[in-house]
Structure 1
Amino acid sequence: MYPIAEQDRSGGPGAADEFPLSAVIASQPEPLAVSPSGDKPNIASLEILVANDTGAAFPFEKLVLSFNALENGWEKDGAELLTPEWSRCKRSATPPDGWEKEPIGGEAGQCVYRAGGMGGGRKGLKDGDIFRFHLSDIPVSGRTGVTTIGVQLRDEDDGIIAEREFAVGKFPSGYYLRDFQAAIPVISVDQAGKSGTTLTWSAPPDPTVTYTLSANGGTPRKLASTQTIFNTGPLYTTTAYQLTATHADHSKVEHTLLAQVQVVGGDITARNVTVNGELKADGGVIKRMKKLRLENPVTLDEGMYGVIIGCVESFGGTGEFCESHVTATVKNKRGKIIRKKEARVKEDLGMETFVLVVGARCTVEFSTDAGNPKGSRAEAFWLPFRDPDWFLER
């Protein structure tokens, strides 16, 4: 797991996504904790992976790793430093074949590696190649704050081709955040729907650190600073949780852990689903969705139950006032109105939808404004089921 990669930001004029290769960083311990003193420093390590997963070779001459560090200078220690004693750090690399394993120079806090050949007189990383770097025996700075780590790709003249920066928070001495996990990481949908499960984590009590918890990228909720347990409540789909610790006096000093609860038999979220054959739901066979013609009346097939999905859209793009609507009226076999839904848009480039659950042998009548402009579209679809119990159970 490489949580620091979640905090990366561009070190150059473009966005971080413009860095062409994958670059991730992990620290041990997670997060970093500052040293109580220079005489008895906390020792940490960092690992950096740079991988080419672009599908093609990427050319460059040098890979430069930069850390905020002093050679020997505890008296000048600062919040932005990873270490004020670079001379004690040990460096090792596992590059692809053809690379030089030892750095070719650089000032304190900098490691420069010359890329290997890719054929055709070019150097860089071939597709699928990975460069691994390990920095160990790091005497961590004694000042709480954020230090940055840079990854640069350079040409032969040291011109920067691309770069990425990672922000690494340093928490108070003695602090840790670990073991974020679910008591039941894989849970059936029936059990999850009743009580969910419990999330737990380990952290020392520290009034200077605050916590938030979010689910599936939703709005974070604040937790008590001494809280190390959380009940998820009922769950109906696989859920990813994000626990973030933030230093109260340094808002940029934060650390995030992830945990997932897999709900077996729960809801599925997907952009597109292609089914060859039949798709079954609790024994009810879902037939192919049909587009309905907006003609009066539309009578559903006998023995079929289903959902009517209606949509009206204004797409003129002229910026002028534009109002359109479609109404669906459901009648039973005796002609009595049992349900009615409408979708209406009142502005250009607007869209509204409705959903109606309908029973077997119902008749659906559609109506639209005769004056619906040409720059609008009203549509309806029918998604039928054979088994009515699929709806009754819901």
Structure 2
Amino acid sequence: MRVSVPNIPEAILRSANAAQTRAILPAEAVERIATFLSPGNAAVVTGAGVSVDSGIRAYRGAKGRYLNPNYKYYHELMDPSPKGAAFRRRYWYVHPLLLWSLRSYLGYPPVRDAQPNTTHFALAALQYTSVVNKVITQNVDGLHHKAIAHVWDTTRMDQRILELHGRLRSVRCAHGHITDRNIFQQQLSVANPEWKAFADELEATGRQPRTNPDGDVVLEGVNYDEFVVPDCPECLLEHRHNNIQKPEVIFFGESITKESGIARKHLFHDVERCDRLLLMGTTLATFSAFRLLRHAMDLHKPVLLLNLGPTRADGLAGVDKIDIASGAVMRDVVKSVLGAGWTTDSVVADLLQSGIVKPPPDDHDDTAPRVEA
């Protein structure tokens, strides 16, 4: 299953932008979502919109259009030629993440330090109480794990939370060696002391370069030729030089393989085992997620889509859509589904009192994002 450049058919965008979407009150949305989830055994697919309240910019603007044409392709990052080496230097300085939160040496710390919002904790409560059996996320920010890490161990989290497009918190070299991302950041700092000093200055002064919606840091007049991407330490132990390293995320043009820990058969099996499918904060622009929806529809599973703005699924028979932000309703959804039980379970009560609400600045809907030359 190959990840393609995210796209919503132009006809859907035109139709959605021309239509007058009926405003829905939060109370009505809560009732509809709670009724859908109450029978249990639900699977949830989440996208970029779920992490907006954590300060991570959305992939698309309010009108559904992708806001950064500066795509990153897998074959460019893994190219062993001098051209590929130059791309990796530029990438690791400005772009280390794909499909919702692409960050880099400068951009990674805000993602690393981002905290789960109220939607992440609400979904954690639904998973803890087994109303939701599986969360399949397109996001690579690790926030679903952070929300429930104090309740579940790593093994259980990895069983119940599937990161469809990988994770930013680790790096894999071309020979399969894995490095913790924080350690890799330290290696980059040691190899590039001048850039480390610049990063420290940004942190000390609170100045953060303006980023495009997919996380690209906008820096003008920067020379990338002197930026050093270190060799994989495991490869050096094997007497081999290799600086071809990438985050464990799936790039445009890259296939979701068994090596990435995710197989198409496994994904479809998760959909087959659930009784209903809730999609949240996703435009379904990438086929990796859209295929899951189509599989659920082929099996005649009930499907509910919660998203602000147009999606690839708009107009599909059998898909019930609610146009509202998840953060406006999900806490109340959990309370409605669990009834008085949410107050008597200390774990659930704590989860429902947790979560930040710190969306990014208003410029996240910039219709003409700056792109480096």
Q: Shared fold (TM-score greater than 0.5)? A: no
TM-score by length of 1: 0.21
Structure with higher RCO (Cα < 8 A, 6+ apart) = 2
| Bigger strand fraction | 1
In our comparison, the structure showing a higher alpha carbon Rg is 1
The TM-score with structure 2 as length reference comes to 0.22
